[in-house]
Amino acid sequence: MTRILAIATQKGGVGKTSTAVNLGCRLAMDGANVLIVDLEPQAQAGSALGVNLVSEDDIRRSLGLALTDSLTKAGSRESLSKIAFDRDELVSEYEGGRLAVLASEESTMTAAQNAFVTRPYSDTPILRRRLLHEFAGEFDYILIDTPPAVSSLNAVGLAAADAVISLVNPEYPTIKGAMILKEAVQAVENLTAGECKPRFLGAFMNRSNPESAWTVEDLNILEMMITGGLYPYVTDIRRDRRISRAYFDGRPAVLQHPNQSCGKQYTDLLQEVLDRMDTPEAAWPIAQLPGDGEDDSDD
């Protein structure tokens, strides 16, 4: 059974793309067959995996074009299996599985977003209903990098997912984005008349400071995550220049630094996500404020 996980928030620039590609690569390194879906008009997930749609032939393989064709030319679009980019070479040195990406391109994805704006909400599940079902049985996991803000494409990504994780930075404005995202996830089942039922799996702290350097703002944000029902993960991803540098190399940090702190943090976060997918909320360990219990410390 293919599991579909969306990484989402309503606040831009918090690290969704880095999360999607690093978790996806970690899964593939461990032997899973993984597809990463780039729903961002800025096309960052594809770039982070070394795929940039520049030539006319490449742009014909853009996910945005496939989405638009599915809305306006039912039955005439290219099969997704023909437009996915194989990135197995990135995990070939491991006893890995398969890694592929459905890449984005700004003009075609923007056109797709505009097309969804004029369509009824009943078309929102199209990514799941008409497109991703083609990969049933071919991939173990599909990870969706969603665009920020309340948008038609964000709704498409949430409706396609079985589960959704969010993230915050140690900055007050990012909390609101995660809160709004949780509400949006919870509304999907009703808005799609029960067709789509994504499960909110909580939020983690990204680009965090070491606990020894926490400020009052850091503590307040963690407390707001706890009291706001964001189920903060015990694992956080520390601020690390190696993560952003890896973007320009087309090889995510978990591939370049699997045994260093940034790689280990993504490995630990992934395990928590997988555990939450298989357990009820009441069983989830959540991060605690320092001094509040056994889960005080962060690795």
What residue ranges do the domains of the chain occupy? 3-296
Which CATH architecture does the domain made up of 3-296 adopt?
A: 3-Layer(aba) Sandwich (3.40)
- 3-class secondary-structure state, position 210: coil
pLDDT tens, residue by residue, 97-120: 999 999 999 999 999 999 999 899
Residues of the chain with pLDDT under 70: 74-78, 150, 292-299
**pLDDT tens readout for residues 249-263:** 899 999 999 999 999
Output the pLDDT for position 78.
66
The residue whose two tokens read 């977003």 is 113
pLDDT of 7? 98
Sign, CA torsion 142/147/149/154? negative
Tokens of 120: 């009824």
Max CA separation in the chain (angstroms): 60
pLDDT of residue 74: 57
* pLDDT value at residue 224: 97
Helices H / strands E in the chain, number of each: 13, 8
